[in-house]
Amino acid sequence: MRLEQLNYLVAVAQCGSINKAAEKLYVTQPAISAAIKMLEDEIQVPLLTRTRNGVTPTAHGERVIADAEKLLGIMNSWTNLANAESERIVITIDFSGPSSDVPLFNFYFKMKELHPHIEIRLNFYNKPLLEMDSDAAIIHACSANKLGEALSCGRKNYRVACLYEDKYSLYMSPDNALAELPIVKLDDLRGKVIAARSHPSYFPYHAMLRDLSCKMIFLGDETIVFNAVTDGYAIALLPMSLAQKNAHVEAQRLVCKNIEDVNFPFYHYLLSPLDRILTTDERILYNYLKLHYKELIS
């Protein structure tokens, strides 16, 4: 039995509907249904009666829900006590990388609108790996191995969720010779000037391009990178989610190309510490990120 199951059950009882409870908690309806079904199987009694108009607790369900409300109240009071003693009055989210890489500002204002009582502090670090001491972190990695390297730099007791699978693509001016090719292969980049934003230690494919004798220039900001592309002396290699939002791509009619014989994946991971119980507000924030990150980033 998990606290998450009890939390879902109480929310369904309060909302009178699994769909409304899913919207409230920012989880999917099947996730709630499956969790409650597992709870019913475990204690071997039905807890909810499902009707055309919603759901209502059974007699056994009313008793379990009442006990669950008491238990969740106690757990939240313990968490609030711990937070008060440590003077943690905000939820902090660390991000490893430039702030424009992640839609946390959209997330911040959305949370202020939906849950004004929740305070969020965003911390940004221009380094590839960080020792996380906050409530959560979002990091980028080009593979599960790179994620493992990130975790090995600090504590390893994290919950890890993949929020978004992105990939790097090439962006070039229409008169660039590569723009005329029907297929671009990795070797076609040999000797080319490639512009990116991140520091070489953060950019995951620096070594691969260096082996092709590419000249790498790191300009720190995507707008400066696209200016270099427009001026005709570089090809940009940027995450698609970031490039698609930049006005230069459409205004300058830049050509987007994928590399046919190699994939440049780029993952966004959410990390939260395992060594303490999450508050209700933290669960709301993290579930919202898991469900809506792709919408926020587009």
Give alpha helix (H) positions in 47-194.
59-85, 104-114, 144-152
Length of the chain: 298
Three-class DSSP category at 278: coil
**What was the pLDDT predicted at 206?**
79
Quote the pLDDT of residue 87: 44
Q: Which two tokens stand for residue 54?
A: 């919603």
CA distance linking residue 150 with residue 158, whole number of Å = 11
For the entire predicted model, the pTM comes to: 0.60
Beta-bridge partner residues of 14: none
**pLDDT surpassing 50 at residue 129:** no
More confident residue, 70 or 104: 70
The full set of domains in the chain, from first to last, is 3-85 (1.10.10.10), 91-165+267-297 (3.40.190.10), 167-264 (3.40.190.10)
Average pLDDT taken over every residue of the chain: 79
Question: Which of 134-138, 252-256, 278-282 shows the highest mean pLDDT?
Answer: 252-256
Tens of pLDDT, residues 218-229: 876 777 888 888
The pLDDT confidence band at residue 190, using thresholds 50, 70 and 90, is very high
Predicted pLDDT at 188: 93
DSSP secondary structure code for residue 218 in this structure:
E
pLDDT tens sequence across 76-127: 766 655 554 444 457 888 776 555 555 677 777 878 787 777 788 877 765 5
**Percentage above 90 pLDDT, the chain:** 10
pLDDT level of residue 135 (50, 70, 90 thresholds): confident
User: How is residue 3 written in tokens?
Assistant: 């606290």
